[in-house]
Amino acid sequence: MPFNQICQIQTARRPNPSHTELVIEGFNGADEARPGQFAMLRPDPPGDMLLARPMSIHSIERLAGGGTQMRFWIKIVGHGTRVLAALERGQSLRVVGPFGRPFEWKGPEQPWLVAGGIGVTPLHFWARELCTSGVRPRFLYAARSSSDLVALDDLRRLNMELVVATDDGSTGERGFASEVLARRLESGARGPVFTCGPEVMMKSVASVCRKHSLPCSASLETIMGCGFGVCLGCVVWRQASGQSEAQPVRVCTEGTLFSTEELGW
C-alpha cells in the first residue's frame, strides 16, 4: 500500500556534522516497503523546500508493541539535505512512497554488495533481508574516512562477511572500493556484484567486474524531481539485451537497479 503521510520525527541523531539519522515510527503502509525502494522526504510545513528529496530506506522494523519504525540517513550535500538534516525530534516530515523497484536476487552464488559512502542505505536494508532469508551476502563497505562509515554498527550486527575500507586507511583496509573488491575477486571470492554509491566509484566497480567476467548491477541515485515517473528528470540511457539501440528509462520507476553492461559502463 503506498503511503503519503506526515510523521513526527522520533529521533534525529548526528554522529558527525555532515550526517543525520532520522527515525520515524508508526504509520500505515510502512512495512510494505522493500529493500531498494525509496521515499520522497520533505519537512511539513515545507518552508522554502519546493521539491521533496529522494532517500533510500535504511531499515524498517516491526516494534514489539505494534507499529513500525523506519530509518533514513541523510548526508548533507546542498540546501535540501541541509534542511532535512537539521530536523529535530517532534518536528513533522512528509513521507511519500515507496518508490522504485525492490532489489531482487535469486541464484546459487553468494552476491557481493558494494557500498560507497551514503550508498550504504539501500544495501544495508537488502543485506538484512538476504541474511534473514538464508542468503549470506558478502558486504564491502567503503568510504572516504572512518567518520563517513555511519552504518558500520548496523552492518556488524548482521551474520555475513563484512569488509571495510577507507580511502585514507583510518578504518579497515586502505583503498578505493574497486581496488579492495579486485583483491577479493583475485583471491577467488567471486559472485555477482550489486553496488550503490558515487557514480565514479560504481563505474570503477563495474570495470573490475568486467575484467573478471562477473555480472554487475548499480543502484543509481540520479537527481529526481517527482520520484514516480512524471517529470522525466531522472532519465538515463539503457540498451537492454536484444535491443538494437539504447532507450531512455526512468530511474525512479524502471530502476533504481540496472545492469552496468546495459548502461554502457
- Residues within the interface to ligand FAD (CB under 6 A): 38, 53-56, 73-75, 77-81, 118, 121, 221-224, 256
Rounded to an integer, what distance in angstroms lies between the CA atom of residue 161 and that of residue 21?
25
Q: Where are the beta strands (DSSP E) in 100-183?
A: 112-116, 138-143, 161-166, 173-174
CB of residue 117 to ligand FAD, shortest distance in Å: 9
- Answer with the entry of ligand FAD, ligand FES, none that 53 interacts with (C-beta below 5 to 8 A by kind): ligand FAD
- C-beta of 223 vs 230, nearer to ligand FAD: 223
What cell numbers appear for 63 in the block? 516494534
Q: Residue 99 carries which side chain, given as an amino acid letter?
A: F
Residue 117: φ, ψ to 5°: 60, -130
CB of residue 97 to ligand FES, shortest distance in Å: 12
172 binds ligand FES (CB under 6 A): no
Residues 70 and 23 sit within 8 Å (Cβ to Cβ): yes
Sign of the torsion formed by the C-alpha atoms of 139, 114, 240 and 212: negative
Q: How many residues does the chain have?
A: 265
CB of residue 49 to ligand FAD, shortest distance in Å: 8
Angle at 118 between CA 115 and CA 122, to 5 degrees: 65
Q: State the first-to-last Cα distance of the chain, in angstroms, to the nearest integer.
A: 35
- Answer with the entry of ligand FAD, ligand FES, none that 223 interacts with (C-beta below 5 to 8 A by kind): ligand FAD
CB of residue 38 to ligand FES, shortest distance in Å: 10
- Print the binding letters for residues 201-240 with ligand FES: x by CB under 6 A, - otherwise: -----------------------xxxx-xxxxxx------
User: What are the residues binding ligand FES (CB under 6 A)?
Assistant: 224-227, 229-234, 250, 252
